[in-house]
Amino acid sequence: MRTDWANDTGELGRWRLWQVAPASWQPAPNSASGAWYSALVCPSTDSYWQEHLRQLGAFIKAQRALNQMSQRELARLADVSDTYLSQLERGRHEPSLSVLRALAESLGIRPDELILYAAGVPLRTEPVSSEEAIRADNRLTQPQRSALLTVLHSYLDANRPAVIE
């Protein structure tokens, strides 16, 4: 199914599949294949989604800045073109899962975090405690987690003010 469209000024755009159409819909009158319509379509210029893509681009740009990388460096690491990364950061393109995964790995963040952000799932805003981070880090073995937690607790205990009786 082609997804190109032209408005009355001749500008080309893209259609986005929106929802499943009723089974009673008939094929297009000028349809050579006689295929049944299976979905309603609407222009992808939906302002909410465009704003979300801009926020995703700003998030990627902020992560890149935190990692002190140029666009060119990140593009090379993620195996995308400089132009494409620039357009992503400006919210002009919707990245694929493989691009999001490559960007996340290049930025040193969890791919699932970036993918969830791209999907519009709000990120956790409250800070994560050191203990939660250690327990959740799958890169550590259980003995390493226990050792880190023991050291952390010893530092926290040493920093507590002494109770004067």
Residue range 94-147, pLDDT digits in tens: 899 999 999 999 998 888 888 888 887 776 667 778 898 888 888 889 999 999
Return d(Cα 4, Cα 117) in angstroms, integer. 28
Confidence bin at 74 (pLDDT 50/70/90)? very high
Inter-residue contact 12 to 5 (CB < 8 Å): yes
pLDDT > 90: percent of the chain? 38
Confidence bin at 163 (pLDDT 50/70/90)? low
For the stretch 27-51, pLDDT in tens is 444 444 444 343 344 444 467 888 8
Confidence bin at 4 (pLDDT 50/70/90)? very low
**Integer CA distances (angstroms), 52 to 46, 56, 81, 97, 113, in order:** 10, 6, 22, 16, 15
What residue ranges define each of the domains in the chain, with the CATH number in brackets? 4-44 (no CATH), 49-118 (1.10.260.40)
Give backbone dihedrals phi and psi of 4, rounded to 5 degrees, phi first. Answer: -80, 150
H or E element, residue 43: strand 39-43
